[in-house]
Structure 1
Amino acid sequence: MAEQNELQKKWAKIVAKSWADEDYKQRLLNDPAAVMKEEGIDMPEGVKFKCVEATEKQAWLVLPPKPGKGCIEAGEERLAAILSSCCYMCS
């Protein structure tokens, strides 16, 4: 939980910097993995990241990857617990 809170704080800092600095925002949109790494967020190797900017009239819903075998059979409460422990950094 503490690790997730730290990740959320780092993400909030990235968002604030992107609002204040157009060049920084463009770098985030163009190469999110590099910016995240610069800000101390470990990015998994081999995973491609895409950053999009929401507007007042457009938002994005992110459907996370399907959990491993056995998780779905465990029921909705178990799935909700799994998802609440993940951070997909979307708004």
Structure 2
Amino acid sequence: MTKQNEQQKQWAKIVAKAWADEDYKQRLLNDPTAVMKEEGIEVPEGVKFKCVEATEKQAWLVLPPRPGKGCIEAGEERLAAIFASNCFLCF
């Protein structure tokens, strides 16, 4: 299993726990880094996370960081492929 798939499975477990346990959800919203570490997700040094809860009437769009210089010249289709291949938890 790839690292990306493993991280997606770990995140899915965290989400399921948050749906089932209000206290856990509050800890996730207040300190996502600590919760991710508790669940075995490697968190790179110096990276900060913010967890927000979507509702039925409000969702969040996250614009990822711009890729390295050589990627920008590759064009929109290549950039879209780079984005699509990356996981929201991949570093």
Same fold (TM over 0.5): yes
What amino acid maps onto 2:70 in structure 1? G
Equivalent-residue separation in structure 2 for 1:60 and 1:40 (angstroms):
25
Match of 1:20 in 2: 20
TM-score by length of 1: 0.91
Count of residues in Structure 1 that have an aligned counterpart in Structure 2:
89
1:25 CA drift (Å)? 0.3
Unaligned runs of 5+ in 2: none
Q: Which runs of 4+ in 1 moved over 3 A?
A: none
Match of 1:69 in 2: 69
1:86 CA drift (Å)? 1.5
Equivalent-residue separation in structure 1 for 2:83 and 2:60 (angstroms):
17
Post-superposition Cα deviations, 1:13-56, rounded to whole Å, max 9, x if no partner, equal 00000000000000000000110011111011111110000000
- Percent identical residues: 84
Instruction: Please give the residue correspondences for 1:46-61 in structure 2 after superposition, counting only pairs within 5 Å.
Output: 46-61=46-61
Match of 1:8 in 2: 8
Unaligned runs of 5+ in 1: none
Equivalent-residue separation in structure 1 for 2:86 and 2:56 (angstroms):
26
What amino acid maps onto 1:72 in structure 2? I
What amino acid maps onto 1:57 in structure 2? K
Q: Quote the RMSD (CA, aligned, Å).
A: 1.3
Instruction: Please give the residue correspondences for 1:28-39 in structure 2 after superposition, counting only pairs within 5 Å.
Output: 28-39=28-39
Which SS does the other structure have where 2:27 is aligned? helix
Instruction: Please give the residue correspondences for 1:37-48 in structure 2 after superposition, counting only pairs within 5 Å.
Output: 37-48=37-48
